[in-house]
């Protein structure tokens, strides 16, 4: 029987889920993997206020050093999130020769290269399956299951909160604010959901996926980002009528030595598998060579989903030990890769204008778009009502981001345009 002592730092939603998982599956893990996991020490600043039932003889402490300095602890699980002091904790653990598991996407996205190099130097492993997709085995699939393939593109629904909000807007006619409130009630959104709804959470996860697939460490500030706060129910309705679905997509494409990386709401065909990914589910759709298209999907939010990924890392560690390098801990980069700026990217767009219904408005708007080289594929306008503001919906041909922005800025200044135009990118995934 292999016995592994754990130092758990962070006893929030995920940390308590890990404790629950290990307690409920103790016999199963013993019988199947001939391994016994023991949480030797648990560290959290708010322990007296938390339920510590089920921890048995686990040592409880508020001092991180009680975990890091204990020579009997084999692996440290960091679940406090954020960059600091999480980074300092992981650095100290590795320098003490301890293996580390983390669910911290911000940490891996911002400091992965440095930490992987340190882990190699100390002959340790750094596991992070739950940092992308919670318990859905996205990282292990990429780095082991299909590692021999060439990766051409990634399209990811990798924030469960945003996907839940957009699903509620579609299915229950909610506004963004109403859907967010519902997500918070159900525990699918933080009390401060800013990093979710502004797209930053997806940016962190996309940076990790780009490193794993394309071999490029990207500064998160170089990833173009838009959140979902500007999406209205009108946009949901128009998309549905056009046979389209709006998803917050994390997108990465590689062509020759150029990589484009972006996170934003995206219109996709309702016939594509990603369009059916709803509620808190995450999915990653990858185009690979020679395997072809690969779709991975599972719950991307919630206590036990994230805990499942942590347990997967624990069992992976138990079976691997110190014997071989961890495939996801590579820190060398592919040479010569460049990030395309958003202005260099061409896509099709859905544009919604709210205008005073007067004769000649369409010709004025299309005239400005035409002067900027933007072709129009279709136009939809509600029935005339000269006393009201009405939406005008246009679908463009492929156009550059730069020219579209210039055109929309001019159109926004027209007296008959009553609000900032909404532009949503469209992607053809087949």
Coil/strand/helix, residue 418: coil
CB distance 210 to 152 below 8 Å: no
pLDDT of residue 146: 96
- Write down the catalytic residue from 205, 247, 253, 254: 205
Helices (H) and strands (E) in the chain, counts: 14, 18
Both tokens assigned to 116: 């992987």
Mean pLDDT of the chain: 93
Overall average pLDDT of the 383-409 stretch: 89
Q: Which of 265-269, 354-358, 383-387 has the lowest mean pLDDT?
A: 383-387
CA distance 263 to 265: 7
Residue 22 phi, psi (nearest 5): -65, -35
Encode pLDDT of 32-79 as tens digits: 999 999 999 999 998 766 677 768 889 999 999 999 999 999 999 999
Identify the residue with better confidence: 422 or 302: 422
Asked whether 161 and 189 are in contact (CB, 8 A), the reply is yes
Can you tell me the distance from the alpha carbon of 390 to that of 110, in angstroms, rounded to the nearest whole number?
A: 44
Q: Is the pLDDT of residue 385 over 70?
A: no
Q: What are the CB-based long-range contacts (under 8 Å, 24+) for 304-307? A: 304/17, 304/20, 304/21, 304/135, 305/134, 305/135, 305/136, 306/13, 306/14, 306/17, 306/103, 306/130, 306/134, 306/135, 307/14, 307/17, 307/18, 307/20, 307/21, 307/130, 307/135
> Given the DSSP bridges, would you call strands 2-9 and 35-43 parallel, antiparallel or unpaired?
parallel
* pLDDT at residue 162 in the model: 95
In whole angstroms, give the CA distance from residue 54 to residue 21. Answer: 11
Name the residue among 262, 227, 279, 245 with its Cα closest to residue 346. Answer: 262
User: Each residue of 158-202: pLDDT tens digit?
Assistant: 999 999 999 999 999 999 999 999 999 988 888 889 999 999 999
Cβ neighbors of 151 (< 8 A, separation 6 or more) are: 142, 213, 214, 254, 286, 287, 288
Number of residues in the chain: 430
Backbone angles phi, psi at 136, to 5 degrees: -70, 125
* Cα separation values, 235 from 222, 256, 289, Å: 28, 35, 35
Backbone angles phi, psi at 218, to 5 degrees: -115, 135
* Same fold: 2-133+304-329 with 345-426: no
**Alpha carbons 21 and 329: distance in angstroms, whole number:** 26
Question: What is the spatial distance between Cα 225 and Cα 176, in angstroms, rounded to a whole number?
Answer: 18
Is 15:44 a contact under the CB 8 Å cutoff?
Answer: yes
Nearest to 227 by CA among 190, 181, 189, 266: 266
Which 3 state secondary structure label does DSSP give 84? coil
Question: What digits encode the pLDDT tens for the residues 2-15?
Answer: 999 999 999 998 99
- In CATH, 138-300 is 3.40.50.10210: no
267: enclosing H helix or E strand: strand 258-269
Q: Does residue 325 have a pLDDT over 90?
A: no
How many CB atoms lie under 10 A from the CB of residue 56?
10
User: Buried b / exposed e across 326-348, counting CB within 10 Å, b at 16+?
Assistant: bebbbeeeeeebebeebeebebb
Mean pLDDT of 85-108: 97
Ranges 7-21, 215-229, 293-307, 314-328: which has the least confidence = 314-328
DSSP 234: H
Residue-wise pLDDT tens digits, 107-156: 999 999 999 999 999 999 999 999 999 989 999 999 999 999 999 999 99
Q: What is the pLDDT of residue 48?
A: 67
Name the percent of the chain lying above pLDDT 70: 96
CATH number for the domain whose boundaries are 2-133+304-329: 3.40.50.720
> Which two tokens mark 382?
């509600």
pLDDT at 56: 80
Domain boundaries, the chain: 2-133+304-329, 138-300, 345-426
Instruction: Enter the tokens of residue 18.
Output: 């890990």
What's the pLDDT at 368?
97
Mean of pLDDT values over 413-430: 93
Catalytic residue check, 113: no
The pLDDT, as a whole number, for residue 177 is 92
pLDDT at 31 over 70: yes
Evaluate whether the domain defined by 345-426 bears CATH number 3.30.200.20.
no
Q: What is the pLDDT of residues 243-286, one digit of tens each?
A: 999 999 999 999 999 999 999 999 999 999 999 999 999 999 99
Confirm if 407 and 368 have CB atoms less than 8 A apart.
yes
């Amino acid at each position: 029987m292999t016995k592994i002592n754990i130092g758990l730092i962070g006893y929030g939603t995920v940390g308590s889920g890990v404790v629950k998982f290990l307690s409920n599956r103790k016999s199963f893990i013993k019988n199947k993997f001939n391994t016994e996991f023991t949480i030797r020490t648990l560290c959290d600043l708010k322990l007296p206020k938390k339920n510590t039932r089920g921890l048995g003889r686990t040592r409880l402490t508020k001092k991180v050093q009680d975990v890091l300095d204990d020579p009997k602890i084999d692996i440290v699980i960091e679940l406090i999130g954020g960059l600091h002091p999480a980074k300092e904790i992981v650095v100290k653990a590795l320098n003490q020769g301890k293996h580390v598991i983390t669910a911290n996407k911000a940490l891996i996205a911002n400091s992965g290269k440095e930490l992987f190099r340190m882990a190699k130097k100390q002959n340790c492993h750094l596991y992070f399956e739950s940092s992308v997709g919670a318990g859905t085995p996205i990282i292990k699939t990429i780095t082991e299951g299909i590692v021999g393939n060439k990766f051409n593109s990634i399209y990811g629904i990798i924030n469960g909160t945003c996907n839940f909000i957009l699903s509620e807007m579609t299915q229950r006619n909610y506004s963004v604010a109403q859907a967010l409130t519902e997500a918070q009630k159900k525990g699918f959104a933080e009390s401060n959901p800013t990093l979710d709804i502004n797209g930053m959470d997806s940016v962190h996860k996309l940076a990790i996926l780009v490193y794993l697939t394309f071999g490029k460490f990207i500064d998160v500030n170089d990833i173009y980002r838009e959140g979902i706060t500007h999406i209205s129910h009108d946009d949901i309705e128009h998309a549905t009528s056009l046979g389209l679905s709006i998803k917050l997509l994390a997108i990465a494409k590689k062509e020759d030595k150029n990589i484009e990386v972006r996170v934003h709401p995206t219109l996709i065909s309702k016939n594509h598998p990603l369009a059916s990914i709803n509620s808190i589910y995450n999915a990653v759709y990858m185009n690979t060579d020679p395997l072809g298209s690969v779709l991975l999907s599972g719950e991307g939010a919630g206590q036990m989903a994230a805990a499942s990924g942590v347990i997967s890392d624990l069992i992976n560690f138990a079976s691997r030990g110190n014997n071989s390098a961890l495939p996801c801990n590579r820190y060398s980069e592919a040479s010569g890769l460049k990030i395309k700026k958003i202005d260099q990217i061409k896509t099709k767009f859905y544009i919604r204008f709210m205008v005073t219904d007067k004769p000649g408005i369409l010709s004025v708007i299309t005239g400005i778009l035409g002067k900027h080289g933007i072709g129009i594929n279709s136009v939809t306008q509600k029935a005339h009502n000269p006393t009201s503001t009405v939406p005008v919906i246009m679908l463009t041909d492929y156009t550059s981001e730069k020219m579209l922005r210039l055109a929309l800025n001019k159109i926004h200044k027209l007296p008959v345009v009553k609000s900032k135009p909404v532009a949503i990118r469209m992607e053809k995934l087949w």
